[in-house]
Chain A
Amino acid sequence: MFDSLSRRQFVTGVSTGMALTSLGLPSAKVRAAGLLAAQPAVLSGRQFNLDIGYQQVNFTGAERTATTVNGSLPAPILRWKEGEQVSLRVTNHLAHDTSLHWHGMILPYQMDGVPGLSYAGIKPGETFEYRFDVKQSGTYWYHSHSGFQEQTGLYGAIVIDPKEPDPVAFDREYVVLLSDWSDTSPESIYANLKKLSHYYNFQERTVGDLWHEIREKGVTKTWQARKMWNQMRMSQADIADVTGYTYTYLMNGNTPASGWMGLFSKGEKIRLRFINGSAMSIFDVRIPGLKMTVVAADGQNIEPVTVDEFRIATAETYDVIVEPAADQAYTVFAQSIDRTGYARGTLAPDPSLQALIPAMDPRPVLSHRDMGMAHDGHDMGVMDHDMSAMGNDMGHDMSTMKHDMSGHSMHSQAMNAHVMNSKPGPAGFGSQAPVVHKPSERGPQTDMQAMSPLSGLDDQGIGLRDHAQLYGRKVLRYADIRNLTPTLDKRDPEREIQMHLTGNMSRYMWSIDGIKYADAEPVRLHYGERVRITLVNDTMMTHPMHLHGMWSELETGDPDYIPRKHTVIVQPGSKISYLVTADALGRWAYHCHMLYHMPGMHREVRVEHGGKKA
């Protein structure tokens, strides 16, 4: 690992820059001079000094002020060893509060780095020492948990070497950290979205699209296909809130123009540690010409699965093994979910080689499935029925009211049934409980409800569903993931908590069960309990949900090998379930990892002794 990294640095001549950055000195001029860091510095050991400060950067031709760790964007790669205790002294050189959160780490809550929950944050000029035992191995990351700082550059990789021999064999490894950079301040991006929610979407359906559709399908069918979207006042082209219009997608801090580069020798097994450290971007990753064997998800070893492509949501990590058999270059291609841009790098036996950069796939449009409608219906009768049950602000006011009322009584019945049948289904197979929309979900803060949400397990996700058929690419699904080692906590869940991810796209408001974080009570878990969390996505956006401090054990169908994740994609209009063992006392954050969804779509999870049994 270190050999390959230092050789790489030597080859491209960025070692000077690296030396500067690892000393925490400003390296603005290094970057400006075009000597981009191909990979951030690696800091290893047990003691770390991390300095958070301002840093001039230039990714687009315009100079901007980033916030960085030790002057490096991304932040230095931290290399730890399982079983050791690490000490991280973080000093704040900013004019305002900051924090660092160790994403996916199992640690005491006071060390988790969430201002307001773990501690008060780090004040300007102060140093906070994090100290905790490293109890796991694999690929993780760290980032600021203050304000929107993460967007401005405060993120980096964590690689933890296992205590026992690594079950994954490889000759060489690279961190591949994906992120998104904007020259616009995050506060302005957020304000733009609130003023005009489609501000960054330049892929709306046009009159030209309509004309094509009419010519293809005829007026009647086109009208029917668009009727629901028109009535619900939603855009089928609403795939990403913030797009390549403002984002420059980065791979290890390199723009698509410069590209990241990783070297290999033919026949080597290369371990690529993919981390999505972006603020708002979901990437679809592939390396044309190479199969990828996924060996770990969110840092945890899984039964190897060989795929051609995988989706990585904000905050997820995947480790893959690739074995280039030829002396040629390969492009590591990470296109954004809405196909408005990509991050890229090159794997090559020689730094002078480059591979072809593939064209992006066609932009996806949302389907009925993404609205929580099981029927992708041509049957208008079925569709009308679904629609009437669906909206909380649809069509004519009177009919809406009627539907609301009938919907409501249906829900109360469902709720009673839910309470009576309180024993949740067995571990590993997900929820059998009815989907219940709470009354708090209704109001101006929400714009839709998924009435028949499908499980997101088998779903590759928007824009990927037809890739096997169209391009012969096997795309990773959550259903393909099995833990490498047996499930540790084999208990069935004692209770099930159903939470709905809610929002109003046009007002750009996000919440859980219709209640934003500021107004919400904590979710209380009692210490030691095994609980199932079922998330229902009542929006048409993809939400990567991150529970701090405890594993989200994704129920992918095999109770004996339940994979452990820290961030779980909840597909639009879909549901998903995972088990949590509440073995970590304290106050934890639980939120959507989309930076601009997070302020509202957020809960405190409080793990306490005692408490009432469900």
Chain B
Amino acid sequence: MKTLSKFLSALLAFTVLQVQAMGEDDPLLVMGKLDQFEIRDTEGDNPRVLAGELWAGYDLSKLWLKLDAERVGGETEELEVQALYSRAISAFWNIQLGARFDDKPEPRRKWAVIGVQGLAPYFFDIDAALFFGEGGQVGLRLETEYEWMLTQRLVLSPDIEINLYGKNDPATEIGSGLADVEVGLRLRYEIRREFAPYIGVNWQKKYGKTADYAAGGDIEDAQVVIGVSAWF
């Protein structure tokens, strides 16, 4: 530990060539965040889910990577990556522009993304995005999350995600209109700000044509989840 701190202070000495009259106002920061890293208990193989983001940048402009992945029985069933430029437009809101790549399920799909992300009145975390895909496909995703502080470290957090699409895409089993809704309720304990194990429940349901495509598979599923959230 001591050697490490010596190494770090030496490193600092190299990187900070000239110290100004005060600390650096708007330093380049990098934040990585695992919102969900969990196992979902269901019939058959239990899915493992990873949802998180990585950003690098300054107060008002950042580059974001958003990652969503689900593995079942050693197979990646879902892998979605978004690369976005995020720009602050008001006190609590950012506009996010970029691209989304769906690596799984196959066939791969590419999208252009325009979204808003921020904090709405009454402390609702909002992430809303429009996706423009190939062949005139359009998608809309609305996500919101709330945090109830039961104690200073025990937080109950409901969240909801809704996906809508403009067209049928039989290859990826997506139907037009309301496609799916996912509702979660997670109870986490912040051992540190940066590390919180949690338990919860997750419920998801497919609707309309999307449900028709999935006939025979899971249309509605409720699962108990256990996982950790963490950031640096």
Q: Which of A561-612 contact B (CB under 8 A)?
A: 589, 591, 595-596, 598-600, 602
A199 touches B23 (CB 8 A): no
Main secondary structure of the interface of A (DSSP, over half): loop
Assess whether B91 is in contact with A117, with CB atoms less than 8 Å apart.
no
A267: chain B residues within 8 A (beta carbon): none
- Residues from chain B with a CB closer than 8 A to the CB of A147 are 16, 19-20, 22-24
Given contacts A97-B18, A149-B19, contact A444 B89 (CB under 8 A): yes
Contact B5–A444 (Cβ < 8 Å): no
A559 in contact (CB, < 8 A): no
Q: B149 contacts which of A190, A195, A204, A504 (Cβ < 8 Å)?
A: A204
Chain A window 72-102, contacts with chain B (Cβ cutoff 8 Å), 1 for yes, 0 for no: 0000000000000000000000011111000
Knowing A444-B91, A507-B59, A599-B24 touch, does A207 contact B149 (C-beta < 8 A)?
A: yes
Chain B residues in 8 Å Cβ range of A15: none
Q: A115-B20, A233-B123, A445-B59 are in contact. Are A96 and B13 (CB under 8 A)?
A: yes
- Known A65-B5, A233-B119, A444-B60; contact A599-B22, beta-carbon cutoff 8 A: yes
Interface membership of A550, Cβ < 8 A = no
- A552 and B10 alpha carbons, distance in the complex (Å): 40
- In the complex, whether A487 has a CB less than 8 A from a CB of chain B is no
Interface pair B231/A195, CB less than 8 Å apart: yes
Q: Is A157 close to B, CB under 8 A?
A: no
Given A63-B2, A95-B10, A208–B29 Cβ distance below 8 Å? Answer: no
How far apart are the CA atoms of A393 and B90 in the complex, in Å? 7
A599 to B119, CA, bound (A): 26
Chain B nearest Cβ from A49, distance in angstroms: 22
Q: Could you tell me if A231 and B19 are in contact, using CB atoms closer than 8 angstroms? A: no
Contact with A along B200-232 (1 / 0, CB 8 A): 000000000000000000000000000000010
Q: Mark B170-200, 1 if CB is under 8 A from A, else 0.
A: 0000000000000000000000010000000
With A96-B13, A596-B23, A598-B23 as known contacts, state yes or no: A205 contacts B92, CB within 8 Å: no
Which residue of chain B has its CB nearest to the CB of A204?
B149
In the complex, which residues of chain B have a beta carbon less than 8 angstroms from the beta carbon of A509? 26, 59
Alpha-carbon distance between A97 and B19 when the two chains are bound, in angstroms: 6
Please name all residues of chain B whose beta carbon is closer than 8 Å to the beta carbon of A507 when the two chains form the complex. Answer: 59-60, 88, 91
Minimum Cβ distance to chain B for residue A62 (Å): 8
Cβ distance A592 to chain B, nearest Cβ, rounded Å: 10
Q: Which of A431-461 contact B (CB under 8 A)?
A: 443-447
Q: In B7-29, which residues have CB < 8 Å from any A CB?
A: 9-10, 12-13, 16-27, 29
Give residues 204-225 of A contacting B (CB, 8 Å): 204-208
* B119 A506 Cβ-Cβ under 8 A: yes
Q: Closest Cβ of chain A: how far from B207's Cβ, in Å?
A: 29
Q: Is A518 an interface residue, CB under 8 A from the partner? A: yes
Q: Which of A509-532 contact B (CB under 8 A)?
A: 509, 516-518
Complex CA gap A445/B58 in Å reads 12
Q: Please, which residues of chain A bring their CB within 8 A of the CB of B193? A: 192, 196, 199
By the criterion CB–CB under 8 Å, are B21 and A116 in contact? yes
Nearest chain A residue, comparing its CB with the CB of B152: A202
B20: contacting residue among A146, A186, A204, A596, CB under 8 A: A146
Which of A194, A445, A506, A596 touches B92 (beta carbons < 8 Å)?
A: A506
- Decide if A186 touches B21 in the complex (CB within 8 Å): no
A96 touches B119 (CB 8 A): no
A202-B152, A205-B149, A206-B149 known; A65 vs B9 contact (CB < 8 Å) = yes
Contact assessment for A148 and B23 in the assembled complex, using a CB-CB cutoff below 8 Å = yes
Bound form: Cα–Cα A443–B2 in Å: 44
User: What mask results when residues 278 to 294 of chain A are scored 1 for a CB within 8 Å of chain B, else 0?
Assistant: 00000000000000000
Assess whether B22 is in contact with A591, with CB atoms less than 8 Å apart. yes
Q: Which of A65, A145, A148, A504 contacts B91 (CB under 8 A)?
A: A504
Report the separation of the CA atoms of residues A444 and B150 in the bound assembly, to the nearest whole angstrom.
Answer: 31
* Residues of chain A within 8 A of B59, CB atoms compared: 194, 445, 507, 509
Q: Which residue of A lies closest to B154 (CB)?
A: A206
Query: In the complex, are the beta carbons of A230 and B121 less than 8 A apart?
Result: yes
Asked if A195 and B25 sit within 8 Å, CB to CB, the answer is: no
Complex CA gap A318/B32 in Å reads 45
Given contacts A207-B148, A207-B150, A447-B91, A98 and B25 within 8 Å (CB-CB): no
A516 (CB) vs chain B CBs: closest residue: B25
- Tell me if A68 is interfacial: C-beta within 8 Å of chain B: no
CB pair A208 B151 closer than 8 Å: yes
Instruction: Say yes or no: B13 contacts A392, CB within 8 Å.
Output: no
Complex contacts, B31 vs chain A, CB 8 Å? 195
Can you spell out 29 A-B residue pairs with CB atoms less than 8 angstroms apart?
A65-B9, A96-B12, A96-B16, A96-B18, A98-B19, A114-B21, A115-B21, A117-B21, A121-B19, A146-B19, A147-B16, A149-B19, A187-B12, A187-B23, A190-B23, A202-B152, A205-B149, A206-B152, A208-B151, A233-B120, A394-B121, A517-B25, A591-B22, A595-B22, A596-B23, A599-B22, A599-B25, A599-B26, A600-B25
**Which residues of B come within 8 Å of A, CB atoms?**
2, 5-6, 9-10, 12-13, 16-27, 29, 31, 59-60, 88-93, 119-123, 148-153, 156, 193, 231
A-B complex: 9 closest residue pairs judged by Cβ atoms: A95-B13, A599-B25, A444-B88, A393-B91, A147-B19, A447-B91, A148-B23, A97-B19, A146-B19
Q: Could you tell me which A residues sit within 8 Å of B by CB distance?
A: 54, 63-65, 95-99, 114-117, 121, 145-149, 186-187, 190-192, 194-196, 199, 202-208, 230-233, 392-395, 443-447, 504, 506-507, 509, 516-518, 589, 591, 595-596, 598-600, 602
